């Protein structure tokens, strides 16, 4: 396809306000693209390379202005282009405002052009094809090392020099990833389905496993539905990460029979691809990708070493990389960031901050794609991929399997609270609640994964009682009874037991012990002196406590040393909050 034809179609699409018509124009473009279908399906979205491919053109706006200026003539400078951009506001309009062509120079040849036969705004050019543009951009991306920026500008100049105004408009936008003609991913998906008469959901599935609109379009056209359905995940080609929504324990237990509960690690998402090729010269290969499918293998040698030490079969694992201190305790997320995109001095950075991967999902194992399997099946598979080959798998405790995120299945809110408290105590962010039966939906922020929402409101309660703990907590007061003001009286609303670390319990015991008024076995009555700030998920009417209300999932937030019991919240406020 000639690039002029592509530019013409892009112009039609850009001018079209109606979504359905846009899909129809993209459909026609794909149907007419011939051997350039793959490239056209990406260019129309402003992409040069497939979404899974970390390759970038690595060319900044100023180099692009320079190339435009050179192609525009001897009396135009990059600064002029930038000034015009400031006036006009959009690079496509700027590029289209010059009269290109005829500029002789190295770039005119290295860009594959013939220089003097250049385009010109009046459409007298037009020998540039979509393929040539793509090939030149591929060479441009591949230019590395000293002098590479000059080479990139030369190549781009060669292209602009052969462009008509309209071609230049869309070339500039593609190069700067600013296509903006109203074609999103859904548009291309629907256009592929319409152009080649295949169902949208199957196109969608093929896109999810491949992340390559070009390849999916070509296969839909050449091999139809059968071809699309035969597309699978490939080790080494990243998949979009499934995302989580905020949610509560209440929602999770209402919607699902039981919840899969996991710790929420405070790190950065990673996808590990491991290919144990052992034939010929090639070595086993581990590659690591970020949440945005960017390759981060070189920055995270610990993850590569983990794969080499623990994996035997081919696998795609989804997880989190966490920074840890010398004792293995997690460090804040900012520490991981110091390592994540590091390109130089990785060994030195590694001495300062160590990272460790924890995996919670398995998308592919030993040739099997698992996206359509339920979460629990995928987790079982993850376990078997990670369990030491020499170990007796059944007798190994999940907690002893390195790199495996634990998963509990329960419908008991108290058990979920206990897992949450344990997660916080171990220094993690909290918990994730997942639908045990759900499939893996790449790129979706659906309801099947929920990160437990932090409490929106908190209330200040007077502590009126407590219980001595058991076992290692026998010397600590815990399970604190909470009350709100009701006129001159205090009425109880619940007990907060979880979400408190041992260290904090010791502190609270020291604070409350002097106020013990009476003791009966483990039960302790306290003088109403201390105020706690408490979070909760919901306020329910309940006969369990004297106020007639109960806090659902109360969580200790902190002591309010600045407040007296008289400043604690009242029953009226509780009533108001409940009715909100």
Residues assigned a catalytic role: 264
Give me the least distance between CB of 373 and ligand AMP, in Å please: 16
The neighbour count for residue 379, using CB atoms within 10 Å, is: 25
CB of 367 to ligand AMP, least distance (A): 25
User: 264: which strand partners?
Assistant: 430
What's the closest the beta carbon of residue 58 comes to ligand AMP, in angstroms? 27
Which tokens hold the place of 283? 């070595």
Closest CA to 209 of 239, 241, 242: 239
* Residue 265 found at the interface with ligand AMP (CB under 6 A): yes
Span of 256-264, 481-489, 495-503, 552-560 interacting with ligand AMP by CB under 6 A: 256-264
Q: Which is nearer to ligand AMP, 169 or 448 (CB)?
A: 448
DSSP H or E run through 361: strand 354-365
Query: Could you say whether residue 210 binds ligand AMP (CB under 6 A)?
Result: no
DSSP labels, 426-474: TT--EEEEE-TT----TT-EEEEEEEEPPPS-EEEEEEEEEEE--GGGT
CB-nearer residue toward ligand AMP: 246 or 277? 246
| Closest C-alpha to 478, from 507, 509, 503 | 509
Exposure string over 52-76, b if 16+ CB within 10 A, otherwise e: bbeeebebebebbbbbbbbbbeeeb
Q: For ligand AMP, which is the closer residue by CB, 213 or 263? A: 263
Q: Which is nearer to ligand AMP, 126 or 330 (CB)?
A: 330
Residue whose token pair is 């196109």? 203
511 φ, ψ (degrees, to nearest 5): -70, -40
Beta bridge partners, 247, equal 452
Torsion of CA 261, 267, 269, 274, to 10 degrees: -100
- Work out which of 262, 491, 537, 569 binds ligand AMP, going by CB under 6 A: 262
* Least distance from ligand AMP to the Cβ atom of residue 363, Å: 13
Say if residues 553 and 538 touch (Cβ distance below 8 Å).
yes
Q: Which range, of 190-198, 220-228, 240-248, 539-547, touches ligand AMP by CB under 6 A?
A: 240-248
Q: How many residues bind to ligand AMP according to rule CB under 6 A?
A: 13
Of 75-83, 125-133, 258-266, 409-417, the segment contacting ligand AMP by CB under 6 A is 258-266
Binder of ligand AMP out of 3, 134, 340, 360 (CB under 6 A): 360
Of 131, 338, 342, 451, which lies in the binding site for ligand AMP, with binding defined by CB under 6 A? 451
CA distance 502 to 496: 14
Asked if 447 is part of the footprint of ligand AMP (rule: CB under 6 A), the reply reads no
Q: Which of 59, 244, 463, 571 binds ligand AMP (CB under 6 A)?
A: 244
Cβ contact 568:484 at 8 Å = yes
Of positions 432, 483, 524, 530, contacts ligand AMP by CB under 6 A: 432
Pick from 212, 251, 320, 335 the residue near ligand AMP by CB under 6 A: 320
Using the rule CB under 6 A, give the single segment among 22-30, 50-58, 236-244, 413-421 that binds ligand AMP.
Answer: 236-244
DSSP string over 221-288 = HHHHHHHHHT----TTS--PPPEEEEE-HHHHHHHSSSEEEEEE--SEEEEEEEE---STT---EEEE
Site string for ligand AMP, 154-193 (x = CB under 6 A): ----------------------------------------
Distance from C-alpha of 52 to C-alpha of 239, rounded to nearest angstrom: 7
Query: Residue 102 — φ and ψ, nearest 5°?
Result: 85, 0
Binding mask 112-151 for ligand AMP (x = CB under 6 A): ----------------------------------------
Q: What is the closest distance, in whole angstroms, from the C-beta atom of residue 326 to ligand AMP in the complex?
A: 23
CB neighbourhood size of 523 (10 A) = 13
Q: If binding is defined by CB under 6 A, does position 38 make contact with ligand AMP? A: no
Q: What is the CA radius of gyration of the chain?
A: 31
Residue whose pair of structure tokens reads 């006009």 in the numeric block = 88
Site string for ligand AMP, 53-82 (x = CB under 6 A): ------------------------------
**Segment contacting ligand AMP (CB under 6 A): 75-83, 87-95, 237-245, 348-356?**
237-245
Stretch that binds ligand AMP, among 186-194, 229-237, 257-265, 367-375 (CB under 6 A): 257-265
The answer to whether the CB of 240 falls within 8 A of the CB of 443 is: yes
Q: Is 269 in the site for ligand AMP (CB under 6 A)?
A: yes
Tell me the longest C-alpha to C-alpha distance in the chain. 99
Nearer to ligand AMP, 318 or 533 (CB): 318
Q: Is 453 in the site for ligand AMP (CB under 6 A)?
A: no
Nearer to ligand AMP, 137 or 331 (CB): 331
State whether residue 76 is helix, strand or coil: coil
Strand partners, 272: 288, 317
Q: Is 264 in the site for ligand AMP (CB under 6 A)?
A: yes
What b/e string do you get for 326-352 counting C-beta neighbours within 10 Å, with b at 16 or more? eeeebbeeebbeebbebeeeeeebbee
Closer residue to ligand AMP in complex, CB, 66/262:
262
In the complex with ligand AMP, the residue whose CB is nearer, 241 or 288, is 241
Query: Given the complex with ligand AMP, which of 198 and 316 has the nearer CB atom?
Result: 316
Given the DSSP bridges, would you call strands 445-452 and 243-247 parallel, antiparallel or unpaired?
Answer: parallel
Cβ atoms within 10 A of the Cβ of 472, count?
A: 8
Separation between Cα atoms, residue 38 and residue 216, nearest integer Å? 8
405 lines the binding site for ligand AMP (CB under 6 A):
yes
- Summarize as ranges the residues that interact with ligand AMP (CB under 6 A): 241, 243-244, 262-265, 269, 320, 360, 405, 432, 451
């Amino acid at each position: 396809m000639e690039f002029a034809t592509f530019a013409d179609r892009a112009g039609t699409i850009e001018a079209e306000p109606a979504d359905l018509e846009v899909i129809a124009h993209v459909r026609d473009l794909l149907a007419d693209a011939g051997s350039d279908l793959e490239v056209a399906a990406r260019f129309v979205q402003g992409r040069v390379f497939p979404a899974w491919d970390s390759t970038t053109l690595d060319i900044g706006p100023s180099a692009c202005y320079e190339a435009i200026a050179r192609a525009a003539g001897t009396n135009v400078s990059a600064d002029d282009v930038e000034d015009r951009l400031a006036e006009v506001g959009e690079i496509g309009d700027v590029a289209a405002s010059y009269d290109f062509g005829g500029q002789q120079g190295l770039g005119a040849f290295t860009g594959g052009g013939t220089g003097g036969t250049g385009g010109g705004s009046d459409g007298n050019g037009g020998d540039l094809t979509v393929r040539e543009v793509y090939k030149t951009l591929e060479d441009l991306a591949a230019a590395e090392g000293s002098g590479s920026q000059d080479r990139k500008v030369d190549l781009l100049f060669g292209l602009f020099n052969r462009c008509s105004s309209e071609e230049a408009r869309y070339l500039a936008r593609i190069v700067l990833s600013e296509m903006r003609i109203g074609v999103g991913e859904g548009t291309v998906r629907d256009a592929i389905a319409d152009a080649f008469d295949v169902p949208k959901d199957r196109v969608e599935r093929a896109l999810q496993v491949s992340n390559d609109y070009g390849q999916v379009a070509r296969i839909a056209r050449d091999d139809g539905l059968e071809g699309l359905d035969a597309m699978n995940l490939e080790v080494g080609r990243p998949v979009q990460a499934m995302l989580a929504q905020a949610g509560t324990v209440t929602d999770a237990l209402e919607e699902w029979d039981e919840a899969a509960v996991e710790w929420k690690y405070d790190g950065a998402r990673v996808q590990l691809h491991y290919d144990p090729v052992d034939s010929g010269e090639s070595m086993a290969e581990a590659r690591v990708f970020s949440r945005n499918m960017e390759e981060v293998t070189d920055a995270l040698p610990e993850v590569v070493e983990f794969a080499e030490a623990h994996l035997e079969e081919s696998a795609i694992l989804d997880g989190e990389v966490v920074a840890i201190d010398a004792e293995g305790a997690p460090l804040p997320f900012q520490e991981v960031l110091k390592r994540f995109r590091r390109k130089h001095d990785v060994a030195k950075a590694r001495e300062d901050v160590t990272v460790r991967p924890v995996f919670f999902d398995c998308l592919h194992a030993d040739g099997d794609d698992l996206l359509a399997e339920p979460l629990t099946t995928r987790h079982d598979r993850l376990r078997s991929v990670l369990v030491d080959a020499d170990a007796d798998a059944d007798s190994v405790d999940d907690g002893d399997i390195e790199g495996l995120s634990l998963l509990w299945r329960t419908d008991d809110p108290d058990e979920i609270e206990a897992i949450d408290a344990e997660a916080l105590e171990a220094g993690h962010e909290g918990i994730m609640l997942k639908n045990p039966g759900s499939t893996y939906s790449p790129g979706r922020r659906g309801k099947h994964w929920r990160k437990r929402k932090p409490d929106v409101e908190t209330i200040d309660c007077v502590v009126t009682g407590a219980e001595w703990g058991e076992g290692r907590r026998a010397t600590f007061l815990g399970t604190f009874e909470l009350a709100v003001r009701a006129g001159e009286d205090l009425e109880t609303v619940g007990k907060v037991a979880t979400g408190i670390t041992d260290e904090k319990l010791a502190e609270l015991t020291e604070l409350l012990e002097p106020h013990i008024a009476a003791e009966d076995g483990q039960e302790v009555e306290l003088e109403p002196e201390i105020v706690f700030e408490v979070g909760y998920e919901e306020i329910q009417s309940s006969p369990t406590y004297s106020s007639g209300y109960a806090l659902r999932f109360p969580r200790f937030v902190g002591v309010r040393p600045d407040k007296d019991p008289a400043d604690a919240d009242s029953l009226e406020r509780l009533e108001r909050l409940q009715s909100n």
